[in-house]
Amino acid sequence: QINVRDNEPTTLQFQFVDSDTDEPVELTRFVITVFDIDEQIDPTIQNERVCVDVEGVYDVIAAGGSLNEIGSLEAITTGYNEESVTIDLVQESCRGGEGSSYQIRSTRPGWLCDNPTDPLDLSPVSCAECDACTEENGREQYFPINRDLRAVMFAYAGPQSSFEITFEVECQAGEERCSNDERLRGRNFIFGGRSALCAWPTPAPTFIDWDVCSGTDQDLEIEGAEILINNLNGQGPDEDGENVLRYHDVVKNAPGGQQIDLVVSVAPNSDYYLAEPSSNGKWEQFAQINVRDNEPTTLQFQFVDSDTDEPVELTRFVITVFDIDEQIDPTIQNERVCVDVEGVYDVIAAGGSLNEIGSLEAITTGYNEESVTIDLVQESCRGGEGSSYQIRSTRPGWLCDNP
């Protein structure tokens, strides 16, 4: 993210260098995306402009597609959707000299609440999701905000070690207001690499001939693990330490006798709320985490070296979620678990292995109607690109039936 003051256009150079030597490094076939190109409700007060010289650019991708494939800047922007940014091919460079450039302009207002937080998730934002939008202020007319229409991705074939982008915030509200109004202190431009403007292929998994139930490379054992820190998201029961839940020495057959800890933390851009802090930690021989009603959370589980805190990569290991049940009236409380498909080799339920049987239904309700259900959903657990396994409880349970 870079902040630019009103009416002070700037051309920035982006260069790739070796982390150790600072020497330039040439890349090939890479992309840069500028996101969230928007403006004030009154665009004469503030509107955003971005300029990229044509030289070196292999392709331009907007919400309507690829310039190389479709052949028209209008067709991939306002011709695709009138709310899109505009892109003009101008017969001068971004600095006004010889050459040509792509000049992008905002066309619709935006607020902080619609800024993307994940480059691969440019899904629409509704008025209900934006604290800047209420019936009283009349801003609902600008929603939903289609964030993909406010992003442009540039593809470079290379080889090259640098590129330039010119950013500008135009203010036409008069010198006094543009210079002195404390609310008009420029705007932020956000940029990154790959974005949801392309449907990126999922890399084909490396085939591993593994009968999961015949054995693992590393076995996780929670029952004998010491809890070093129990303060997930800073909600206790420990009153100090990192905001994590850390289990010590959980891999008993680690290579070379290495001690490995399992560190549980709240994933970036996720929240976590609990009902009872003392429930976090362990239950009998299991790890246990408490989650408050209607507050879904995504947790990250990481294996680290007990001494150095460096991440440790494991191969052929399993994780099991137990006791997925609900209230007698499931509308009061029912449990759901979601795991992204990426990285998962197999799913095993009471009815067997998904790899062997080939059907999620066959290993769950098709095996026994009292089983949990598992659905393959064509979106990630957070609602973005990808796919996920979504598990739901189907039968009531009590403390006495916990394993």
pLDDT in tens, 87-143: 999 999 999 999 999 999 999 999 999 999 999 999 999 999 999 998 889 899 999
Give the pLDDT of residue 235.
87
Cα–Cα distance, 238 to 234 (Å, whole number): 8
Q: Is residue 183 predicted with pLDDT exceeding 70?
A: no
Give the pLDDT of residue 208.
65
Give the pLDDT of residue 257.
80
pLDDT tens per residue across span 234-281: 988 998 889 999 999 999 888 778 899 999 999 998 999 988 889 999
Give the pLDDT of residue 92.
97
CB 370 within 8 A of CB 325: no
Average pLDDT over residues 50-78: 97
The number of CA neighbours under 13 Å toward the Cβ of 392 is 12
Give the pLDDT of residue 10.
96
Averaged pLDDT of the chain: 92
Q: Is residue 337 predicted with pLDDT exceeding 90?
A: yes
- Size of the chain in residues: 403
DSSP string, 51-107: EEESTTEEEEEETTEEHHHH--TTTTTTTT-TTSPEEEEESS-TTSSSS-EEEEE--
Give the pLDDT of residue 207.
57
Q: Is residue 179 predicted with pLDDT exceeding 90?
A: no
Report which residue type is found at 23: E
Give the pLDDT of residue 364.
93
Q: Is residue 287 predicted with pLDDT exceeding 70?
A: yes
Give the pLDDT of residue 206.
57
